[in-house]
Structure 1
Amino acid sequence: MADLEENLERPPDYGSLQFSVEGQPASLQSSSSSRQEVKSRVSKKLEGVQYLLSDDVQVEIRWFIHERDRYESDAAPDIDNILKPLMDALCGADGLIVDDCQVQAVSCYWLDSYDGSQRLEFSIDYSPESWVKKGGLCFIHLGDGLCYPLPGGLSVRQSKFMTQMIKTMVEMRDEFEELDADYYQSKMLMPSQRAFHRTRVASEFEVLEAEDILN
């Protein structure tokens, strides 16, 4: 498993990353300022990461906390309540994934921290070929809420070519489904890159209409 800090430019080819964040997590019921503080700590750890994982991921979180704080205090949040704030912290332009809909599986457990300190250790497994560079990244909206990532650094002609190719593949998928093909048969005609619904694309990402690019 690779250390995130040693793989800032691109994810390692064997599909596994880890990093740790000092301090305690926030509960879903915590104040917005507490949740934001945790998100800021995670974002700080992800500074310098130049890519987003763009397909399914599996996340494991290990929360190190002293046993006394878990059992003899009511200050420590429940395991199930800390997950959503932590998943949100991994998402978006400052995160490691586009949206938490990509999280196919998640496990979270606490371990005894004998010295009394708290920290969170993250392990993330992913498809090694499915990632996009953050620099200049935007999304193409093809209608019906369907969006695809469009990498930065492309010329106008390259952007038009890629957009047209994606648009054509989606249209072919739709036509194939009209021939009574099921979703999984039709999926073979789609781009290998994961599609996202418009509501799953965070506001900090630019979303362009396909027709505006092609005209």
Structure 2
Amino acid sequence: MARITIECSNCTPDREYLIKELATAEVSIEIHFDEIVSIQSRAARRNELVEAIRDKISQFKWLISGSVQVELAWYLHSVERQDTDKVGDIDNITKPILDSLIGPKGLLIDDSQIGSIHTFWMSRNDQISYSVLRLRIQFSNDDCLNKEKLVFIRYWNAMCLAINVDFSSFKSVFGACMVVSARRRHRRAAKSMRVLGAQADQYLIPSSWDFHRTRVNGFPADIIITVPQLLQRAGAVGLARSTAPRLKKRA
């Protein structure tokens, strides 16, 4: 069984910020292995490792929605790595680790958020009898969402907006409607300009909060809602549909 410890810089499991004026943070995870797991390992062994890491990081009450930089430093026995097939290639042993970071119990919504990966191995000596992985995840605190109030609003074809909404709060639901309306206007404008031969997509479409529907399959279906469902919940808190006519018209 892997032994896992976690340290945080400018964040805690409860809060994505410690110093609000500093919008960079890091989560460091150290894992001690009796046996390295790779994608060639038995499914049960891979799942055991993935779930062990997820159980540890499930204490985090927030998720990162923006780009992250990931570094994996493997401390392996050089002779064992060379002379046996117990230790897989570095790309094969990295994949199960990255898988453990994704989803509602992880730190990321989808692995498409990984902007860069630096994975490398170093030789450990015989003073310890186990292998070590030091995993560092660097990100912007501004691109984080609370897990408890997380919803994905499918607002444009298969595109979903990741956003925090308190459906008991008029202000929160109204804000969500306005953001969805603005994102839809951006997409319509980009589509119109494309027809005219202008490529405005890069100015209007990229967002740290947009995910394709297939990239959020690991999340509960009841937090993935459509625009009509958003409007229905808006009505439940007293927000008239006529307040957001553009949203209603194209729902």
Instruction: Report the TM range for the smaller structure's normalisation.
Output: 0.7 to 0.9
Deviates more, 1:201-210 or 1:30-39: 201-210
Shift of 1:106: 0.6
**What is residue 104 of structure 1 aligned with on the other side?**
115
SS across alignment from 2:84: coil
Work out the CA distance in 1 between the residues paired with 2:147 and 2:188. Answer: 33
Q: Which amino acid is 1:155 matched to?
A: S
Q: Which amino acid is 1:36 matched to?
A: N
Cα distance change of structure 1 residues 70 and 45 upon mapping to structure 2, 3 Å threshold: same
Choose from 51, 54, 77 the match for 1:66: 77
Shift of 1:193: 4.4
Task: Among all aligned residue pairs of Structure 1 and Structure 2, give the percentage whose two residues are the same amino acid.
Answer: 25
SS across alignment from 1:128: coil
SS across alignment from 1:107: strand
Q: Structure 1 residue 210 and structure 2 residue 223: aligned?
A: no
Summarize the alignment of residues 120-139 of structure 1 with structure 2, pairs less than 5 Å apart: 120-139=133-152
The alignment of Structure 1 onto Structure 2 pairs a total of residues equal to 211
Work out the CA distance in 2 between the residues paired with 1:152 and 1:116. Answer: 48
Aligned CA RMSD, in angstroms, stands at 2.2
Deviates more, 1:47-56 or 1:154-163: 154-163
Tell me which of the two structures has the higher relative contact order, counting C-alpha pairs closer than 8 angstroms and 6 or more residues apart: 1
Work out the CA distance in 1 between the residues paired with 2:32 and 2:167. Answer: 39
Where in structure 2 are there 5+ consecutive unaligned residues? 1-5, 18-22, 233-251
Q: Deviations over 1:7-64 (max 9, x none)?
A: 1112344322212122144212222112101102211331311110110001001112
Q: Structure 1 residue 10 and structure 2 residue 10: aligned?
A: no
Cα distance change of structure 1 residues 151 and 39 upon mapping to structure 2, 3 Å threshold: same
Whether contact under 8 Å (2:159, 2:211) holds in the other structure is: yes
Shift of 1:166: 2.4
Whether contact under 8 Å (1:163, 1:210) holds in the other structure is: no
Q: Which amino acid is 2:61 matched to?
A: Q
**What is residue 29 of structure 1 aligned with on the other side?**
40
Work out the CA distance in 2 between the residues paired with 1:200 and 1:208. Answer: 14
Choose from 62, 71, 75 the match for 1:51: 62
Whether contact under 8 Å (1:55, 1:102) holds in the other structure is: yes
Whether contact under 8 Å (1:65, 1:116) holds in the other structure is: no
Shift of 1:170: 2.0
SS across alignment from 1:16: strand
Q: Which amino acid is 1:19 matched to?
A: I
Work out the CA distance in 1 between the residues paired with 2:48 and 2:145. Answer: 27
Work out the CA distance in 2 between the residues paired with 1:160 and 1:100. Answer: 29
Deviates more, 1:173-182 or 1:27-36: 173-182
Whether contact under 8 Å (2:16, 2:141) holds in the other structure is: yes
Work out the CA distance in 1 between the residues paired with 2:218 and 2:29. Answer: 26
Summarize the alignment of residues 59-208 of structure 1 with structure 2, pairs less than 5 Å apart: 59-114=70-125, 115-155=128-168, 157-177=170-190, 178-179=192-193, 180-187=198-205, 193-205=208-220, 206-208=223-225
Shift of 1:107: 1.2
Q: Deviations over 1:60-85 (max 9, x none)?
A: 01112212211121111110112221
